[in-house]
Amino acid sequence: MSWWFLLSLPPLAGALAYGRAPFFAWAGAGLVWLAMLAWLTHWPAALTLLVLAAWAAGCAVFLSPALRRKHVTAPIFKAFRSALPSMSQTEKEALEAGTVWWEGDLFAGRPDWKKLQSYPWPKLTERERAFLDNETEELCRMTDDWDSTQRQDMPREVWDFIKAKGFLGMIIPEEYGGKGFSAFAHSQVVTKLSTRSSAPAVTVMVPNSLGPAELLLHYGTPEQKQHYLPRLARGEEIPAFALTSPWAGSDAASIPDTGVVCKGMWQGKEVLGMRVSFDKRYITLAPVCTVFGLAFRLVDPDGLLGVEADLGITCALVPHDHPGVEIGRRHFPLNAVWMNGPVRGRDVFMPLDFIIGGPKMAGQGWRMLMECLAAGRSISLPGSNTGMQKLTARAVGAYARVRYQFKTAIGRFEGVEEALTRIGANTYLSDAARVLTAGSIDLGEKPSVVSAVVKYHITERARQTVNDGMDVIGGKGICLGPQNFLGRAYQQIPVGITVEGANILTRSLILFGQGAIRCHPYVLDEMHAAQDNQLERFDKAFWGHIGYTVSSAARAMVMGLTGSHFVAVPADVAPETRRYYQQLTRFSAAFAFLADISMGTMGGALKRKEKLSARLGDILSLMYLASATLRRFEAEGRQAADAPLMHWAIWDCMFKAQNAFEGVIANFPNKFFAMILRRLVVFPLGRPYVVPSDRLGHEVARCLIEPGPVRDRLTADVFLPDNVEEPVGALEAALIATVAAEPVEAKLKEAQKQGRFRPGLLVDADVDAIWRRARDEGVISAEEYVLVERRNALRDKVIRVDDFEYDFGLRDALCEAPGLKEAA
């Protein structure tokens, strides 16, 4: 055993030293290892010299770049080029779109925690805060979700307020009359509106996301900007963007909508333009839009624009009343109020000036969309789904304290506590990821991989949170009406799961599939070198890749064998989080090696191993979510009372990441590598994480049912009506009243226990009679009775459900229908 331990030290030292003097580190480690092996196993001198000479000769080849490239790299380069699958222009643009941010550190196996802590935690400016506290608050107050549901539209005064107050122009710079808000402010507005109703939230977020304004800002001609941006900012134009077709949903690049370059009449003159046929659906705001962006494939068979026949996907801006456009019909996505519908046209002639950016941007639409997608996807759905979680945490937590069964607040039952725990921790984590990611946009990043991570995971956790909330409130949640504060959110949760890239495909194809190429420090360079037939460039990237892989394996193994206790982390992090940083560093190194081994052994087949790819994406995503949670805890001043939320969220991420590691290894096609991965690299001392403890879960659940700063921070900016006739307003008042009445309740129970008070029989179905009798018999005082009476009145408002009139004449008419009467 001691021999093998000693023999392992030089290769490990070489691996760990890689990065400073790569080749010399390995060459020296190899010589030492061979010399030790010869000495420990008593090799003859001649054999020792022969082996050392052979090693030196091999090293000499690598010392000479020309010899290495000719005799070693060239055959590898040839095989790599032949194995590399062909890539379309749209695939290339999608892979190269956006920027690599913090996820790059996690993927590379060497997260720089000082860099993470240096990212500024986003804050609103005074002007942005005023807009959130005034205009956004007022829009929430004006919105009645049940009334809008019955109308299937928002009232005219709400639409007018949205347009007049600049909600549709939050991302448009002030020079064009817009608000010029930060991405974080945009996210905060969407989040707050989503705590009230999806109708204003979606109506506001879509024009400020991937759509005409965003595309015009980045690619529009000066004339297009001057014409449209001020009108969009003032609400004179309502925009939509038409991408999805019946035959191309998640695979948006394959849209069949086509435009043919041709000549035609426009405003009384013959001009060069396009004859476009399109059939789009699921287009938000389409039924009420005045202008819409349109994505289609542009072809030029007659060479009117040049030699290229297939120009590629192109984006144009089309007025809703343009001749030939069919618009105005409506979908009902799970009966949502916000507008959504199809857009169609057949052989619609458009001048080339309709192209966003003008004729020179013909065929550049896919690149434009991919570059802008990261910003919108980082804000819209993460904001709206975090808002739903905040509302759930606030309202369901209060309900669990107010609602009694078996003479106990239901929030005290451990089964309900489990649901409350997930609600609280998921909300804390999702909000952390939302804020960190929105902040990256304000730093100038376009994090394509991270935007997919937060879109997928926040919508999935929102689904879990709302489902848990519905379980807790029970019958209150399943009866729709003005007193139901969660049912409509429950109905519409699948919308966020589906749009902007269906979650099931985002997880299995995008998170790791795109991340492996964009975030890996060498893969994209290798691909570019192979595509451009550059041997020298490939040589540098490939051997850097080899050293990086072995170094990751060695680092992961050493950290695994030592329990990661010796991993250096910044000295100024919170002491209670130090182990999380160390374990995340270890997981990051193990992931880097696992990703490389997966790509190296399976190659292009990994793309078809969607389950393995999905689990690899899970690991990367969970490390990002844990990072965001740690950053939030630091940014908010290490609030000790918030620590249970942070600890549960981190343990949940680490446990799930650990399971994802196990899922990859257990299903790895190469069983030899699977054994190496499990026993030597990833879990040499076993799996370190278990599910978060029940004790910790109890502390998290308590944060939701007790009024105070923790609950307020967790649910900051939730709209809270001051009217107790509204369900959330009633819950807020009832929670305070319940807490105030609990000592009186305890006093009464103690009197009953001691035999000083007997409640008697309940003969008139009056559940509150016991309190009047206790008052009359002097068990509680008149002042205490007032507290209980207020609690009871508010409790009754909270637990009530809606019922509606029914037209019994309709029932009687149905019963008189031919056939029914005879059947009866």
Joined together, the tokens standing for residue 168 give 């549709």
Contact 620, 103 (CB under 8 A): yes
Burial string for 714-749 (b: 16+ CB within 10 Å, else e) reads bbebbbbbeebebbbbbbbbbbbbbbebeebbebbe
Closest CA to 324 of 365, 265, 284, 237: 265
Positions annotated as catalytic residues are 500
- Ramachandran angles phi, psi of 274, nearest 5°: -140, 140
- In terms of Cα–Cα distance, which of 723, 651, 663, 661 is closest to 692? 651
Helix-, strand-, coil-residue percentages of the chain, each rounded to 5 = 65, 10, 25
The residues facing 408 across adjacent strands are 405
- For the record, the structure tokens of 774 come out as 């206790």
Q: Closest Cα to residue 431, out of 647, 202, 291, 633? A: 633
From residue 566, how far is each of 9, 560, 585, 680 by CA, in Å? 17, 10, 11, 18
Instruction: Give residue 493's Cα distance to chain centre.
Output: 14
Closest CA to 488 of 195, 181, 813: 195
Half-sphere exposure in the Cβ direction for 670 (13 Å, CA): 14
| Phi, psi angle pair for 405, to nearest 5° | -145, 145
Listed residue (585, 552, 543) closest to 680, CA to CA: 552
Q: What is the DSSP string of 613-628?
A: HHHHHHHHHHHHHHHH
Closest-CA residue to 431 (of 393, 383, 463, 465): 383
Q: Say how many C-beta atoms besides its own lie within 10 A of residue 77's C-beta.
A: 20
- Classify burial at 353, counting beta carbons within 10 Å of its beta carbon; exposed 0-12, middle 13-18, buried 19 or more: middle
One-letter amino acid of 104: G
Paired residues of 340 in beta bridges: 284
d(CA 232, CA 235): 5
* Pairwise CA distance, residues 344 & 325, whole Å: 6
- Closest by alpha carbon to 512, among 525, 528, 523? 523
Distance between CA atoms of residues 697 and 699, nearest Å:
5
Q: What does the DSSP assignment read for 648-697?
A: HHHHHHHHHHHHHHHHHHHT-S-HHHHHHIIIIII-TT-----PPPHHHH
CA distance 121 to 403: 38
Question: Across-strand partners of 48?
Answer: none
Tokens of 58: 């091999």
Beta-carbon contacts of 362 under 8 Å, excluding residues fewer than 6 positions away, are: 298, 305, 311, 314, 352, 355
Reference 421, options 739, 654, 693, 195; nearest CA is 693
Burial tier of 365 (Cβ tally within 10 Å: 0-12, 13-18, 19+): buried
Output the furthest CA–CA distance in the chain (Å, rounded): 110
In sequence order, the 6+-apart residues with CB closer than 8 A to the CB of 70 are none
Quote the DSSP letter at residue 766.
-
The gap between the terminal CA atoms of the chain, to the nearest Å, is 87
